[in-house]
Amino acid sequence: MPRWPRGWARRAIGLGGDWRTVPWRVNADVPGSYLRRNLPAPQQADLLEEALAAGRLSARGVDKVLRIAWTLADLAGTDRVGQNQLRAAMALRRGELT
C-alpha cells in the first residue's frame, strides 16, 4: 500500500474527511480549483491577488504558488499555509530563491 504524505492525512482529517479517500498523493497532483475552493486560504492571500492583478502571476502561476506553499507548510508540519510559506513560494516561483 502506498505511503500517504502526512500533510494530506492531517488536512483530510481537519476538513472532516477520511485521509484514505483523498485522491492525491502529492501536492503537485491537486487541481488548482480544489486548492482555491476547498483548502483554507493562506495567510496574506491578498499577495496572490495583487500579483495576479499586476500581471506578475497568471492564474496558473497562482495555482503553482499554492502547491509550493502547501508543500512548504507540510514540511514545516503545519495545517495551514502561513505568511512565510506563501512568501517563500512566491520567491521560488519568481526564481529569487534557489
What does each of the 98 residues of the chain score in pLDDT, given as a tens digit? 344 455 655 565 555 455 566 677 777 888 888 888 877 888 888 999 999 999 989 999 999 999 999 889 888 888 889 999 999 999 998 876 65
Give the relative orientation of helices 83-94 and 59-76 as an angle to the nearest 10 degrees: 130
- Give the helix ranges, DSSP H, for 3-82: 6-14, 32-38, 46-53, 59-76
Is 0.85 topped by the overall pTM?
Answer: no
Q: What is the Cα–Cα distance from 91 to 95, expressed in whole angstroms?
A: 6
Coil, helix or strand at residue 58: coil
Q: What is the Cα–Cα distance from 49 to 59, expressed in whole angstroms?
A: 10
Contact status, residue 25 vs residue 8, Cβ threshold 8 Å:
yes
